Amino acid sequence: MSILVNTSTPCHGLKFILFGIVWLIYNALHHDLNKAGPTQTLYREKRIPERVVHAKGAGAHGYFESTHDLSDITSCKLFTSVGKKARATVRFSTVGGESGSADTARDPRGFAIKLRTEDGNLDWVFNNTPVFFLRDPAKFPHFIHTQKRDPQTHLKDADMFWDYLSQNPESAHQILILFSDRGTPDGYHNMHGYSGHTYKLVKDDGNWVYTQIHLIADGGFKTFDAATAGKLAGENPDYGIQSLFETIEARKYPSWTVYVQTMTPEQAESFRYNVLDLTKVWPHKDYPMRPVGKLVLDENVQNYFAEIEQAAFSPSHTIPYLEPSADPVLQSRLFSYPDTHRHRLGRDGLMAINNQGARPGYQSTIAPLTYLKYKGAINGSPRDYERAAKHETWIGGAFWDLSEVTELDFEQPRALYQNVMNDTDRDHLVSNIAGHLGNVKSPVIKARTLSYFASVDQSLSNHIAEAIGAPNAKPLPVKPVSEAISFRANVNKAVKL
């Protein structure tokens, strides 16, 4: 269908003249801003999409310094030379809220660090909790949907939230952490950071260990109770951003001690839990924390949009001798993070700063790209192929263990509730859960969620039931530990190469 406009009348002619003037001004302004250095962000800030998750954030610059030599377990240069430094950029964020949401909302926090090492950028894309809600990457988009708005009411929905979680009980460990006071930290710089995922530290000879990385705040993990967090959400929704900026401006530089836990492949094969399970922690008494360095934030940004909002963190940005494990959720993040950054920031568009020069945008077998090789790589020096093959055979069946819920999934959250939390912690946990679960409309979802908590601890479930005026519930029926899928059957079988 075409629309015919009669431009012969003075009124229509004037409209077109005014439209033309506005269009010329817009184009001139666009052209000038795009050539005006830092001021170009005034235009571009309104042009890139908001992050789907981790939309609200704060950031700063600083450095990582190696304080201990890990040369007995890795050949990674960053961890083998005491005193070696790398410049760092850190972005903290809430996960589920929009860009205008409150910094003190009950939510996990992202803890992303970009280390500019001599071997390239190393990104640690961590959280402030050591575990997560899931261990199957196929569930990730479904889980995120439950944290967003209802398609009809356009409101956050407690029924969606608890309906998903109570049907995926591997989330119990993370939920107990989230609904404790650790779910509402006192600012971004007063919390710990954890890799959650398992990585590998590799040596020149191909030997390697599994590792998890922890950043422990030197000032301690400081939290708010629910009432204080809610009050701040109304009075100062940007509390986290403000307190981080003002702390650095006052030269009270936040710092974290960086530790690693390590586990050999043989230890992994006899570990009570799956080494690839993102819902489990490694007990410190069995796998002690070993210090490796210090992270310090000592510089506020000059332009938040240019230096923090446009930063594209991804766990696929790594350096020689630090490798991802076969953790399926980590593997999914290796490609999904760069994909979403290309969508948000553009490829060869707004973020194009230093590309490949005149080189064609395709590979050539006559003039191929060259890649850095290092001794610990699969194409490097001789490796212990028999040992590696045996473990890879074992790990190849490990994902089956992640596909079902058993009594193993309630052991760690039960220990957290019964042995780690004190009476005040437990009271706050019950109150926080009841305050949210009480908004659920469906009695079926309420009953199932109470069964979910009864699987952790019957008294916890009963206290929540009393607080929301619901009947007590029995634990969910799940397999006992003795019937958990065993992927250890092939451990001692000979491997033919």
Average pLDDT over residues 370-383: 70
At 60-107, the pLDDT tens digits run 999 999 999 999 999 999 999 999 999 999 999 999 888 899 999 999
In a 13 Å sphere around the CA of 121, the CA atoms on its Cβ side amount to: 16
Structural domain contains residue 174 = yes
Annotated binding-site residue numbers: 337
- Mean pLDDT, the chain, whole residue set: 87
Structural domain contains residue 41 = no
At 215-245, the pLDDT tens digits run 999 999 999 999 999 999 999 999 999 999 9
Confidence band for 321, pLDDT divided at 50, 70 and 90: very high
Structural domain contains residue 424 = no
Model confidence at 261: pLDDT above 80: yes
Structural domain contains residue 334 = yes
Give this prediction's pTM: 0.85
Model confidence at 181: pLDDT above 90: yes
Confidence band for 342, pLDDT divided at 50, 70 and 90: confident
At 385-441, the pLDDT tens digits run 888 888 888 888 888 888 889 999 999 999 999 999 999 999 999 999 999 999 999
In a 13 Å sphere around the CA of 190, the CA atoms on its Cβ side amount to: 21
| CB 410, CB 455: distance < 8 Å | yes
CATH number reported for the structural domain that contains residue 252 in this entry: 2.40.180.10
Domain range spanning residue 147?
57-356+382-403
How many folded domains does the chain comprise?
1
Confidence band for 13, pLDDT divided at 50, 70 and 90: low
Structural domain contains residue 162 = yes
Structural domain contains residue 3 = no
At 284-294, the pLDDT tens digits run 999 999 999 99
Q: Which residues are catalytic?
A: 54, 127
Structural domain contains residue 34 = no
Average pLDDT over residues 179-187: 97
Burial label, 8 (beta-carbon count in 10 A; 0-12, 13-18, 19+): exposed
Annotated binding-site residue numbers for heme: 337
Strands 255-263 and 290-299: antiparallel
Confidence band for 337, pLDDT divided at 50, 70 and 90: confident
Structural domain contains residue 136 = yes
